[in-house]
């Protein structure tokens, strides 16, 4: 307990000298074990040297009085060669050892006296991946071999995380995917604002990092390790590849079209939408200075072209077909011509048009063995993605194509997701008892939409059943729709090894700066309840669309700013009671911060003066939308054993 108190003071002192931090994913592995003589007596001060064979990276320590040793912050993968030596004893080696992400391998080594001549010595260095003394909570580890062997049509990480028993690839334990936390090389890599998909690039159906750049993946659902937090679904932690002493590269391409997709479900025929998609990429890794400095780089692109929708207007020739709408081709052609000839506005085609999707991504990584005790990793990655989409399907009333509705082509929009991210990680071993890992990074997200249409009101024409049948004009959700996110993050973890205790303390902090512009109904929404009434409209006795555009453009765009942060402080003790029993206990504290004031606007006044609010007991209450919630401290005690 004294060790915990002393270490907590050290952690708090380091926090007081720090400006920022963040929610961390673990990026390394660990090795522990015991060294004994041929009589089973623990050997004190035996030297343990673990060498990562592909890079020559070395990790060293000595055993405690109980013959125990613990090495943290080691590179994942392998193979490792572990050399164990002690004065007066023969040196032994454990070869071919592989380490999994956020797991601790356990070995027991028997050293024989140099003067004793005995038979073969068997060194055991195995551990059960499912039940072992270092496992913390419900967790799934996915190796590089599993990633390579798993079938995946979209080459998506979601196809890989389906290996988690509690998941369908997106949802974990039944929770919405926005309750997950995705980290890349230990850095937070979420769509933190919460629009669209939970991961960056999700709105454009793009993978932010190529599968060819991923080394291992770990999914945690209920960890009791205090270093993990910030989610109530799952923590998905991916670690990218690193270069080694051997040059390795790949060139690849994946192609798919409608000829590779089935057209029947049982006895029911399902017509395929015409599409063509191709992914292509290249990766290369190797040494810059052997055993010292390494690089890895991956670049990948994707192109896709597909029919926006397969619905068509009905005419005398296609009646009875399954993809024919109730919209008359004669009527929609008259509407199209009215736009073009009278208003000078092109609404685009009403059927048979295609949509595109394109993205490319780059990941570059440098690993530097500064010394035997210090290793630095710096990673940069970027994503530039866009995708063309039909009008918003749930905007007030649906505007997408259905059996009774056709949107014009220029009611569609193109959405962009752009990401720039850089992260640095320094792993250090200060002595046989103290190790440290610090991670710092910055990520910028730039998301925005561009309507197909030139500035024009949203115009909806309804049929006699009151259903929206024809829609045209600028997509109402996409006028100057901009979301900029800047995320700064830093974390520090320090571990102290005291015989059978591994005491870890640290902090992480995330600072979020959001800038959002959303201008719903920036241009007016005009409704007509028959094609006839729309065709009768003109600038004298009807709606003047061009004047509406000019009047609307006099308004400024709406723009909101938000600056928030989240701090976590934690400490824990892993008590290795025996090689078959580990008891872990600790405490994590999370605190949110708000760094900007909420301005008083017409909208906040409406909320404040609304008389319909009730509290949890049904009693009338008031809500002040200019006040942040209180920054409550979230206490998370954690206890577990294996």
Express each pLDDT in 404-453 by its tens digit: 999 999 999 999 999 999 999 999 988 888 889 999 999 999 999 999 99
Phi/psi at 506 (nearest 5 deg)? 175, -170
Q: Which of residues 326 and 188 earns the better pLDDT score?
A: 326
Please list, residue by residue across 81-96, b when 16 or more beta carbons sit within 10 angstroms of its beta carbon and e when fewer do.
ebbbebeebeebebee
Separation CA 439–CA 425 (nearest Å): 4
Would you state the pLDDT for residue 497? Answer: 86
Higher pLDDT, 198 or 600: 600
**What's the confidence (pLDDT) of residue 145?**
86
How many secondary structure helices (H) and strands (E) does the chain include?
7, 32
| Mean pLDDT within 443-469 | 94
Q: Is the pLDDT of residue 4 over 60?
A: no
pLDDT tens digits, 597-617: 888 888 888 888 888 899 999
Domains and CATH numbers, the chain: 25-111 (2.60.40.10), 139-397+404-426+453-475+572-591+602-641 (no CATH)
On the question of pLDDT at 2 being above 60, the answer is: no
Higher pLDDT, 333 or 155: 333
Per-residue model confidence (pLDDT) at position 1: 41
Which distant-in-sequence residues (6+ apart) come within 8 Å of 115 by Cβ? none
420: tokens are 């720039």
**Given a cut of 70, is residue 134 above it in pLDDT?**
no
For the cut 90, the answer to whether the pLDDT of residue 540 exceeds it is no
Mean pLDDT computed over 273-300: 94
Where residue 474 falls among pLDDT bands split at 50, 70, 90?
very high
pTM: 0.83
First to last CA, the chain: 21
* Inter-residue contact 457 to 524 (CB < 8 Å): yes
Q: Is 286 a residue whose pLDDT tops 90?
A: yes
Could you tell me which of 633, 635, 637 has the C-alpha nearest to residue 592? 633
Percentage of the chain exceeding pLDDT 90: 47
pLDDT band at residue 132 using 50, 70 and 90 as cut-offs: low
Count of CB atoms situated within 10 Å of the CB of 291: 14
Question: Higher model confidence: residue 475 or residue 271?
Answer: 475
Please state which of the ranges 260-269, 482-491, 510-519, 593-602 shows the lowest mean pLDDT. 260-269
Q: What would the 3-class secondary structure string for 170-185 be?
A: CCECCECHHHCEEEEC
pLDDT (tens digit, 9 = 90+) per residue, 45-71?
788 888 898 988 888 888 887 788 888
Strands 248-257, 187-188: pairing is unpaired
**What is the pLDDT, as a whole number, of residue 397?**
74
Higher pLDDT pick, 381 / 3: 381
CA–CA–CA angle 293, 299, 301 (5° rounding):
170
Model pLDDT, residue 21: 34
- Does residue 11 carry a pLDDT above 90? no
Confidence at residue 463, expressed as pLDDT on a 0 to 100 scale: 92
d(CA 400, CA 415): 16
Q: Which of 305, 302, 190 is nearest to 257 (CA)?
A: 305
DSSP string, 198-221: SSTTGGGT--SS-GGGEEEEEEES
Q: How confident is the model at residue 396 (pLDDT cuts 50, 70, 90)?
A: low
Q: What is the band of 362 on the pLDDT scale with cuts at 50, 70, 90? A: very high
Specify whether the CB–CB gap between 379 and 365 falls below 8 A.
yes
Q: What is the pLDDT of residues 211-230, one digit of tens each?
A: 999 999 888 888 778 888 77
pLDDT, tens only, 75-127:
888 899 999 988 888 888 898 888 888 788 888 899 888 765 545 545 444 44
For the ranges 270-274, 472-476, 484-488, the lowest mean pLDDT is seen at 270-274
Predicted pLDDT of residue 394: 61
pLDDT for 342 equals 92
HSE toward the beta carbon, residue 257, CA cutoff 13 A: 4
- Comparing 70 with 586, which gets the higher pLDDT? 586
- Cα–chain-centroid distance for residue 197? 9
Residue with tokens 């760094």, as numbered in its chain: 595
């Amino acid at each position: 307990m004294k060790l915990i108190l002393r270490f907590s003071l050290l952690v708090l002192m380091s926090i007081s000298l720090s400006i920022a931090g963040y929610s961390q994913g673990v990026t390394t592995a660990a090795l522990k074990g015991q060294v004994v003589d041929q009589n089973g007596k623990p050997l004190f001060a035996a030297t343990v040297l673990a060498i990562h064979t592909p890079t020559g990276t070395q990790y060293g320590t000595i055993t405690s009085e109980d013959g125990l040793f613990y090495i943290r912050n080691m590179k994942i993968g392998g193979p490792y060669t572990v050399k164990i030596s002690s004065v007066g004893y023969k040196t032994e080696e454990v070869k071919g050892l592989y380490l999994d992400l956020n797991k601790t391998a356990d070995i027991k080594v028997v050293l024989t006296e140099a003067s004793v001549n005995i038979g073969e010595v068997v060194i055991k260095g195995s551990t059960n991946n499912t039940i072992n003394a270092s496992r913390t909570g419900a967790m799934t580890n996915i190796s590089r071999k599993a990633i390579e062997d798993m079938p995946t049509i979209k080459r998506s990480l979601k196809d890989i995380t389906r290996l988690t028993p509690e998941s369908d690839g997106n949802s974990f334990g039944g929770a919405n995917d926005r309750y997950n936390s995705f980290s890349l090389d230990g850095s937070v890599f979420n769509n933190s604002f919460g629009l669209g998909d939970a991961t960056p690039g999700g709105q454009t159906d793009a993978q932010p990092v190529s599968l060819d750049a991923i080394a291992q993946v770990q999914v945690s659902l209920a960890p009791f390790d205090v270093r993990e937090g910030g989610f109530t679904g799952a923590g998905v932690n991916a670690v990218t590849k690193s270069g080694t002493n051997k040059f390795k590269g790949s060139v690849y391409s994946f192609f798919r079209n409608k000829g590779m997709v089935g057209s029947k479900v049982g006895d029911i025929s399902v017509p395929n939408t015409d599409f063509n998609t191709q992914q292509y990429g290249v990766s290369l890794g190797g040494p810059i200075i052997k055993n010292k400095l390494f690089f890895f780089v991956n670049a990948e692109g994707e192109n896709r072209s597909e029919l926006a929708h397969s619905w068509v207007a009905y005419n005398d020739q296609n009646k009875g077909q399954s993809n024919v709408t109730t919209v008359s081709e004669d009527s929609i052609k008259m509407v199209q011509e009215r736009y073009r000839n009278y208003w000078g506005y092109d609404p685009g085609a009403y059927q048979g048009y295609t949509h595109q999707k394109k993205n490319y991504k780059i990941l570059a990584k440098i690993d530097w063995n500064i010394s035997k005790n210090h290793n630095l990793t710096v990673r940069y990655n970027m994503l530039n993605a866009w995708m063309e989409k039909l009008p918003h399907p749930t905007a007030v009333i649906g505007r997408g194509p259905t059996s009774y509705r056709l949107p014009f082509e220029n009611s569609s929009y193109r959405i962009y997701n752009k990401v720039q991210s850089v992260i640095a990680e320094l792993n250090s071993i200060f002595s046989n008892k103290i190790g440290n890992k610090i991670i710092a990074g910055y990520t910028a997200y730039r998301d925005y939409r561009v309507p197909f249409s030139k500035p024009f009101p949203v115009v909806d024409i309804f049929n006699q059943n009151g259903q929206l049948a024809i829609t045209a004009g600028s997509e109402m959700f996409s006028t100057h729709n901009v979301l900029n996110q800047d995320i700064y993050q830093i974390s520090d973890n320090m571990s102290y090894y005291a015989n059978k205790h591994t005491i870890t303390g640290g902090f992480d902090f995330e600072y979020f700066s959001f800038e959002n512009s959303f201008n719903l109904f920036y241009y007016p929404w005009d409704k007509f309840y028959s094609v006839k009434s729309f065709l009768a409209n003109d600038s004298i006795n009807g709606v003047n669309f061009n004047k509406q555009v000019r009047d609307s453009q006099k308004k400024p765009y709406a723009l909101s700013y938000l600056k928030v942060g989240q701090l976590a402080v934690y400490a824990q003790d892993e008590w290795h009671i025996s090689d078959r029993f580990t008891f872990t206990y600790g405490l994590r504290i999370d605190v949110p911060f708000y760094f900007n004031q909420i301005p008083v606007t017409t909208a906040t006044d409406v909320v404040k003066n609304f008389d319909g609010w009730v509290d949890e007991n049904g009693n009338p209450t008031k809500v002040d939308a200019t006040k942040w919630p209180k920054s409550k401290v979230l206490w998370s005690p954690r206890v577990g054993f294996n």
